[in-house]
Amino acid sequence: MDNKLFDSELKVMDVLWREGDSTAKHIAVILGEEIGWNKNTTYTLIKRCIKKGAIERTEPNFMCHALIPKEEIQKAETDELINKVYDGSADKLFAALLGRKHLSADQIEKLKQIVGNLE
């Protein structure tokens, strides 16, 4: 992918990740219902995603296919957050997340398992 996707473009991608391959019209209907966007706004964002290499368009019916998996975007966004806000330190991010709210026993156990799998 050539460029970073902006939040608005990620909303288009999220529809494709949830729904699978979809027509531009279908994406526009969903984002119209969820966010209130008009069709032209959605089509413009789809075209930007195509230009950035995130979506492939095929005919008939302006069918859209996500070229980038959600996990790849999540990793890139997480890396950017860690680098930009936490001086490249994943443990600072982890500490900040843990300090924000009270965690349930289940959540603490899941985190222990994740950390255990890293060791």
At residue 2, the pLDDT reads 55
At residue 1, the pLDDT reads 56
- Are residues 107 and 83 located together in one domain of the fold? yes
At residue 90, the pLDDT reads 84
Question: Beta-carbon neighbour count of residue 62 at 10 Å?
Answer: 16
Structural domain boundaries enclosing 32: 7-66
Tokens of 28: 């526009």
- Return the CATH number at 53: 1.10.10.10
At residue 119, the pLDDT reads 72
Asked if the structure places residue 1 within a domain, the reply is no
Q: What is the mean pLDDT of each run of 10 residues along the chain (119 residues)?
A: 84 97 98 97 97 95 96 91 88 80 82 81
Dist CA 33 CA 53 (whole Å): 26
Q: What is the pTM of this model?
A: 0.79
Could you give the number of structural domains in the chain? 2
